[in-house]
Structure 1
Amino acid sequence: MSTMSPTGVGSSAGNPPHSKVAYVRRRAVVLAAVTALVAAVCERDAESVLRRGSDSGIGDAPLDGRIALIPEPQRQRSVSMNGDTLDGAELSLSDYRGRALVVNFWASWCLPCRKETPELVASAKALAARDVELIGVVSKDHGKPQAQAFTRRFELPYPSLWDPDGSMMLGIRPRPIGLPTTLVLDRQHRVAAMVSAPITRTTLLDLVTDAVPVLVTPA
């Protein structure tokens, strides 16, 4: 037996009116479009977000975006760090005076850190060829054994400072906003670029090229 819908369009029992079907289809199309847009924005990720200095990222405020390239006139005081590495050796950034540095803050419990570590390992040789040193900082980890197991698992070819209380982040301007965070320091060890997200090899090498062009001669 057929019934009449409120719109006057007949439908068999158990089947929705044509107007409702059309509404559902339109909604599905809109949702698909929104999903595609969100996916496209996410895919830009660390490759293209905020390739510039940000007023909100200069001074005591955290960076407003996930990537910032800080113009030379806006770079602040030099970053100073020293302490023991996971291997027990003493290390200070002043040991690398006059050289550009990449400093990566990580922790063994940090899933995004695990995601980016193979990219950092792949970058180490290319950075060394450009006279740029890569240094890790283990921040707020549960303990040295966990951090040391992490370095063995991913075969980190660079040293990592042990910073269990996260104090090495405190004096940095702009201020890092979480883990992982990667800094590109210029020859004076001022922050020239900062990434507050998992970084890729391509993004890191591009940021080094942009931040310290005098030091970089692509192969």
Structure 2
Amino acid sequence: MYLKLNSLFYMIFMNTYRPNIIICGQVATGKSSLAKLIAKDFKMEYISSSTILKGDMGFNYTKEKAFWDKKGLSLFKERKSKDFDKKVDKLQLKFAKEGGKVFDTWALGWLYKGKAIKIMLLASEPVKLSRLIERDKITKKDALKALYERDNKNAKLFKDLYGIDIIKDKSPFDLVVNTDYLTQEDGHKLLKDYISKALKKIVI
């Protein structure tokens, strides 16, 4: 009798399956920068929900300065009437089944039920504003607009789509980190050390 194994079972059987690392957080919490560093550390593929979303919305990130410039905000508002986010989340869930990915994401921490190390990054509004102004060379007014457009509207969007509270509900996460007083180097070391230990203990 021949047994036909699907790819996931085969990877587990051959001990090659690796849990995903899911890093969630609002704008300017450090999730994108740290997720990229972690992906490099552990030689895992980096996947960003924002990059997938921008591509689906026709936003050329290589040519535009930021997602919250005039064009970016206009495209962002289109999500009210289009099924962009469900498509993005469906793609992320598909990738997550393969294992061995680092996700820079807004909602996957709540949606994915498989094996993963889930981390949430936090930051206060004053710190997020300061980071946006410094990083993207924008005015305080534009930074405030960016926070409102992305943080508040994303929270409402995912509440409407899935009934999840991406601001208050921290229950799915293994580690929650306030990055207010951390340099990027501090945050990187903290996450790398935690993930290194967690990967040794997680049961596939």
Q: Which one has a larger percent strand, Structure 1 or Structure 2?
A: 1
Q: Which has the higher contact order (CA 8 A, sep 6+)?
A: 2
How does the TM-score come out when normalised to structure 1? 0.29
How does the TM-score come out when normalised to structure 2? 0.31
User: Which protein is bigger by CA-based radius of gyration?
Assistant: 1
